[in-house]
Amino acid sequence: MMVTAAAIAALQVGYKKHFQDAFSAIRPEADFTKVATIVPSSSKSETYGWLGKFPKMREWVGPRVVKDMAAHGYSITNKDFESTVGVDRNDIEDDNLGIYGPLFQEMGHSAGQQPDDLTFGLLAKGVTELCYDGQYFFDTDHPSHDNTGADTVASNVDASGAVGNPWWYLLDVSRPLKPMIYQERKKPEFIAHVDPKVSDHVFHNKEFLYGVDARSNVGFGLWQMAYASNVALDGDSLDAAIENMRSLRDINGRPLGIKPGLLVVGPKLRSQANKTVKVMLGEGGASNANYNAVDVLDTDWAA
């Protein structure tokens, strides 16, 4: 094949289609979409001053009570990400291009899954990473309120299991704001660097460059909507987690209305999670009180 401008342009169209088809197939079904709210970003970073404010309805007596949206300064700074593939000019001349199609498909697949890696990677670090209230996302002393509205502390973690036990997570994903935030500044974009007249790399290395770049990052939403545990996963520990989350109150002592509905586990706990909530009868034939109490998300990305 002659290496002409028209040939290079045709290759770029084909490679981009391989990338986009794979990306479009994986992204809508990616696991992160089940636990994270996708928030568009328009700047280097975004500040979520409204986190911690549950805008609940109240009886309108006297003037409106305005929620202070600047009470917290939790910010998420976007990061740059890229992936690049080089196509040797000799492969174009020798018409040896079939080897590259799957490579660009894999690039699209990887770009679609990258938010999974970021989101669940941060979720696993929740015991050591801070959230909007200055505490670790999973912590034992979050500022909270009791049933009278008085200040107290609340826990959303049980780390009493043996060292090395796998973690499992119980989440409320029923609301517009999910426990995690995926902040997207720039969707993955396929680009090409193929003109030898303007590219020293192409000229000196006889290699045409194709790649993808994106800008995004992840952060924590409301700690009240998430619970982490490394104790043995069974009906009793799940009951304790559900009761913990549903007992949380707002500043007026009213229930926050948390509805834990998604159990997130990694491969090590897949079988135990299904035994806990997906079988009707337990050992000895007794009814399973937690049958279908929550959905199970078995994801390779969960630690």
What is the per-residue DSSP string for the chain?
----HHHHHHHHHHHHHHHHHHHHHHGGG-GGGGTEEEEE--SSEEEETTTT---------SS-----TTS--EEEE-EEEEEEEEEEHHHHHTT--TTTHHHHHHHHHHHHHHHHHHHHHHHHTTTTSB-TTSSBSS-S-EEEE-TTS-EEEE--EE--SPTTPPPEEEE---SSS-SEEEEEEEEEEEEEE--TTT-HHHHHH-EEEEEEEEEEEEEE--GGGEEEE-S--SHHHHHHHHHHHHT-B-TTS-B------EEEE-GGGHHHHHHHHS-SB-GGG-B-TTTTSSEEEE-TT--
Flag whether 115 is in a domain.
yes
Q: What is the pLDDT of residues 159-206, one digit of tens each?
A: 999 999 999 999 999 998 999 999 999 999 998 876 655 567 666 677
Task: Give the residue-averaged pLDDT of 141-156.
Answer: 94
Residue 76 vs residues 3, 66, 188: alpha-carbon distances, Å: 45, 25, 19
Please report which confidence band the pLDDT of residue 28 belongs to, taking 50, 70 and 90 as the band edges.
confident
Beta pairing, strands 262-265 & 295-298: parallel
Flag whether 175 is in a domain.
yes
Distance CA 212, CA 18 (A): 12
Structural domain containing residue 122: 5-21+32-54+68-298
The answer, yes or no, to whether residue 138 has pLDDT greater than 80, is yes
Flag whether 13 is in a domain.
yes
Flag whether 62 is in a domain.
no
Predicted pLDDT of residue 193: 75
Contact by Cβ (8 Å): 231, 164: no
Domain count, the chain: 1
The answer, yes or no, to whether residue 55 has pLDDT greater than 60, is no
Residue type (1 letter), 79: K
Q: Tokens for 219? A: 């952060």
Predicted pLDDT of residue 285: 80
Single pTM value for the model = 0.85
Predicted pLDDT of residue 7: 64
Flag whether 61 is in a domain.
no
Please report which confidence band the pLDDT of residue 64 belongs to, taking 50, 70 and 90 as the band edges.
very low
The answer, yes or no, to whether residue 3 has pLDDT greater than 70, is no
Flag whether 216 is in a domain.
yes
Residue type (1 letter), 17: K
Flag whether 27 is in a domain.
no
Q: What is the pLDDT of residues 67-91, one digit of tens each?
A: 333 344 689 999 999 999 887 777 6
Partners of 262 in beta bridges: 171, 295
**How many residues are given for the chain?**
303
Q: What is the pLDDT of residues 95-132, one digit of tens each?
A: 555 677 888 899 999 999 999 999 999 999 999 999 99
Q: What is the pLDDT of residues 219-277, one digit of tens each?
A: 999 999 999 999 999 999 999 999 999 999 988 899 999 999 999 999 999 999 999 99
The answer, yes or no, to whether residue 298 has pLDDT greater than 50, is yes
The answer, yes or no, to whether residue 63 has pLDDT greater than 60, is no
Residue 173: count of CB within 10 angstroms of its CB: 22
Distance CA 79, CA 49 (A): 20
Select, from the ranges 11-15, 208-212, 219-223, the one with the highest average predicted confidence (pLDDT). 219-223
Nearest to 27, CA basis, from 83, 102, 106, 111 = 111
Q: Tokens for 33? A: 């979409």
Flag whether 266 is in a domain.
yes
